[in-house]
Structure 1
Amino acid sequence: MATAPAEPEPELGAAALDAVPMVALNYGVRRRLGLYLNPRATAAADWTALAEELGWDYLEIKRLEALPDPTAVLLEEWQGRCPGGATVGRLLRLLRDLRRHDVLLELAASMEADCKKYLQRRQQEADQPLQVPAVDSSVPKTSELLGITTRDDPCGNGTEMFDAFICYCQKDLQFVQEMIRELEQTEFKLKLCVFDRDVLPGTCVWSITGELIERRCRRMVVVISDDYLESDECDFQTKFALSLSPGARLKRLIPVKCKTMKNEFPSILRFITICDYTNPCTKKWFWTRLAKSLLLP
């Protein structure tokens, strides 16, 4: 009788994996999960079996059947419904219970690598560098995250708020510069937070990013391209913003497709309506639509 091949033992313990939310998994891993689970199969459990284990009912499963990547949407909705219970550890246990050893053999190592990166980022945020105590006690002491942008009061008496944080990779900087001209220097008068232009050096990049996205910017614009898919920083920023607004209920995240893509559009953003700069039929209204979405209360 044939036996399933042995699965690699995870280096991270079960408790550690249970503490890592699904947002830690990158686009490549989610796409591979879809390639394994999306095809309907009689001999192996597919995405519908996973949906049943997660508590989705018949009508909900029928709704997902019409989507091109039901696995990706299922995982995103799970994260929105159960923000505390949608963890990588739980997903691995469900795949094991469903006897999808092929998926575990292929993706367990990559999933664990993503978890390690996530935990390392969290540790970096917690382990802020200690500041040398000032000799003169009359020197004002301000929080590390007060003076982080060029528009903040250098004395720490005020912090600048922005309409949107712009998530982009360096190769798309030319498009971001056009965005600045169209949204800041026109009648819209929006205030955009562009990392290379507005953020001061000298502070932990992960701490700054989290502070700006969560507390200082009302929304986030994600500039999507093939190069975006290769950026770890963009991946972190996008997932962080999604974790603040599960299911896009608060309309905090706005995807913008700036170039024609060879790769698939990120599955974690596919359920959010986008502004498509590459579509000649709607390019005429592109900047107005984007500005109006950023001006919403």
Structure 2
Amino acid sequence: MAEVDSDLWSVPLIALNMTVRKKLGLHLNPVHTVAADWMSVADSMGFTFLEIKNYEGLRDPTRTLLEDWQARTKEATVGRLLSILSELERKDIVEDLRPLIDEDVRRYRELLKRSAEAPLQVPEVDSCLPRTSEKSGLTTKDDPEGAPETFDAFICYCQSDFGFVHEMIRELEQTDHSLKLCVFDRDVLPGSCVWTITSELIEKRCKRMVVVISDEYLESDECDFQTKFALSLSPGAQSKRLIPVIYKPMTKPFPSILRFLTVCDYTRPCTQAWFWTRLAKALSLP
């Protein structure tokens, strides 16, 4: 088994860009009777039999597998992925992709270095929300030499509601709806100011914002900022920019600043069958 450089064990999987992920899919998506495929990799990553069976109907199970893995554990690193491929005797994949992986890791570290070297204070301070001048390098699929990555919707949620966000990803991205969601924990590269990145994404990269409302949401400073910022971009909800979603019963009052918006309610059994279709249609509007 080939050794994996020790420094790669600390590099999160989000460092790998789309080119590497697509090539991994070309190697692993075809089901083999001899060589290890994506199902063997999923098993080594700790996914259950039922989870793996649910991936079988996808056109690119490897891509979804990598995205879900990096969202569920801190152990999803470049070093761990290379170790799994080596343990499964897929040295051919490691040798084929290693130059591309090394380049992605180099770019990722360069982004972290630039963020660390950025000044903590600036000479001029005003009351405006911060804006980033960077056009790329914010999200996992940004191409530094191309246009910035854009999304159909930014998902505003608190950590305790992440299970429902996973369901949202399955229903809106991995079905015929084929929408593209911006999920902060999955899509945003670490190392930059949270507020700066968030405002850039909501205002310039995402057409709309879905707000997952819950009791825990009401206690979240980040969710409060994101909601108020999105509302400031569309006074009176004239552009249908913000869509509130309730997915479980609440014990606290619904947020007053959203009371004038039409809610997509998942808790009502009589309308639950139409929930995802209505939400997908709203996010698909120009």
Deviation at 1:203, TM superposition (A): 1.0
| Alpha-carbon contact 2:173-2:180 (below 8 Å) kept | yes
Counterparts of 1:248-287 in structure 2 under 5 Å?
248-287=237-276
| Greater relative contact order structure (CA < 8 Å, 6+ sep) | 1
CA deviations over 1:213-255 (Å, ceiling 9, x no partner): 0010000000000000000000000000000000000100000
Deviation at 1:290, TM superposition (A): 0.3
Partners in 2 of 1:266 and 1:222 — Cα distance?
A: 11
Partners in 2 of 1:278 and 1:166 — Cα distance?
A: 19
The one-letter amino acid paired with 1:146 is S
Size of the aligned set, in residue pairs, is 162
Deviation at 1:144, TM superposition (A): 3.3
CA gap 1:295/1:121 in 2 versus in 1, 3 angstroms: farther
Q: Name 2:199's counterpart in structure 1.
A: 210
Structure 1 stretch displaced more, 156-165 or 170-179: 156-165
CA deviations over 1:256-284 (Å, ceiling 9, x no partner): 01110000000100110010011111101
Secondary structure in structure 1 of the residue aligned to 2:277: helix
TM value normalised by structure 2:
0.54
Structure label with greater radius of gyration: 1
TM value normalised by structure 1:
0.52
| Alpha-carbon contact 2:157-2:212 (below 8 Å) kept | yes
Partners in 2 of 1:242 and 1:296 — Cα distance?
A: 18
Counterparts of 1:181-196 in structure 2 under 5 Å?
181-196=170-185
Partners in 1 of 2:233 and 2:285 — Cα distance?
A: 18
Secondary structure in structure 1 of the residue aligned to 2:142: coil
| Alpha-carbon contact 1:183-1:189 (below 8 Å) kept | yes
Partners in 2 of 1:290 and 1:121 — Cα distance?
A: 37
Partners in 1 of 2:265 and 2:129 — Cα distance?
A: 35
Secondary structure in structure 1 of the residue aligned to 2:208: strand
Q: Name 1:200's counterpart in structure 2.
A: 189
Partners in 1 of 2:200 and 2:129 — Cα distance?
A: 14
| Alpha-carbon contact 1:165-1:193 (below 8 Å) kept | yes
1:225 lines up with 2:210 in the alignment: no
Q: Name 1:295's counterpart in structure 2.
A: 284
**From 131, 141, 149, the counterpart of 1:151:** 141
Partners in 2 of 1:122 and 1:183 — Cα distance?
A: 37
Counterparts of 1:1-297 in structure 2 under 5 Å?
125=130, 143-153=133-143, 155-297=144-286
Q: Among the aligned pairs, what percent are the same residue?
A: 72
Partners in 1 of 2:209 and 2:126 — Cα distance?
A: 20
